[in-house]
Amino acid sequence: MTERRLKREGVAGTYEREDCIVKLSPAEPGSGIKIEIEGKSRDVFRDEVFRLLEETLKGMGIEDAKVWSKGASPLNFTIIARTKAAAIKGGAFE
């Protein structure tokens, strides 16, 4: 897996129903993935959202990032898609 780094903030998604916003920011090398979640998903599916965000980022080779997400009951594919889009916007593939 090629290691990738975020170069700037990347945001994807909307506040619409069944959607979520994922905001990624660069983090110091070795600091790991720090996740903060707001919204309905916080209580009910918190662990699942954490897992998806972390897995998706690591699957792209991103080991260090600050993650902020707010969702309104998004399905898994939406969380994954928004995370990937935010990473691309954050310059991880440049």
Number of alpha carbons in the 13 Å side-chain half-sphere of residue 62: 29
* 48 touches other proteins (CB under 8 A): no
Distance from C-alpha of 43 to C-alpha of 58, rounded to nearest angstrom: 24
Nearer to other proteins, 15 or 29 (CB): 15
Residue 13 touching other proteins (CB under 8 A): yes
By the rule CB under 8 A, 16 interacts with other proteins: yes
The two structure tokens encoding residue 73: 């009951």
* Contact status: 26 vs other proteins (CB under 8 A): no
Calculate the alpha carbon distances from 82 to 28, 40, 77 in Å: 22, 17, 9
Return the closest-CA partner of residue 11 out of 59, 82, 92.
82
If binding is defined by CB under 8 A, does position 94 make contact with other proteins? Answer: no
> Footprint of other proteins on residues 58-77 (CB under 8 A)?
74-77
Report the interface residues with other proteins, using CB under 8 A. Answer: 12-14, 16-19, 74-78, 80-82, 84-85, 88-89
